[in-house]
Structure 1
């Protein structure tokens, strides 16, 4: 019994019995979270919101510059095949430029 009393334990959130900190589940009730539900800090929702904003900023910037490049490629060519080729090319170049710009603006904002 002295071994059990020396182990660090927590009270199971579901059944109230002592459970070792290293246990994956409560041996009495089988709860997968014997210490209770995970509590996130007060800063976590803000960080999650900032990450969502960063993702949206990156996507909008790269898509807008890609669309701008595609419109430029379409407007500057007269032939059908060259218009298709240059629309795709300038669209890709716009996206390739937009991703680093969106990434840099996300870094600057922090």
Structure 2
């Protein structure tokens, strides 16, 4: 039976124990430490999420500006920018999702 030192109370605990018998800690081995590969994948996911938000926002703003520029009258200037913004957000979301899927498969 392999013994480890409890991360919280420094008492000896079995490696397979669910909790420390001395202090009741739920994680006697200490918090999980990510490997370099896991950290790199986590950073890549965070980066992809930021790209998704930025891409969708940029396409939405571009759509709203396009709707505002192409509007002819008062009614069109009230309807077209939000409509084009929704279309732009849809396009940006689709493009960003494709980039996320293909970047995840390349690694």
Q: CA deviation at 1:48?
A: 1.3
Normalised to the residue count of structure 2, the TM-score between the two structures is 0.81
| Larger Rg, first or second structure (1 or 2) | 1
Determine whether 1:75 maps to 2:69. yes
Structural RMSD (CA) = 1.9
CA distance in 2 between counterparts of 1:104 and 1:59 reads 13
Q: CA deviation at 1:62?
A: 1.0
| Number of matched pairs | 102
Determine the structure 1 residue equivalent to 2:26. 32
CA distance in 2 between counterparts of 1:18 and 1:67 reads 58
User: Unaligned 5+ residue runs, structure 2?
Assistant: none
User: Unaligned 5+ residue runs, structure 1?
Assistant: 1-7
Normalised to the residue count of structure 1, the TM-score between the two structures is 0.79
Runs of 4+ in 1 over 3 A off after TM superposition: none
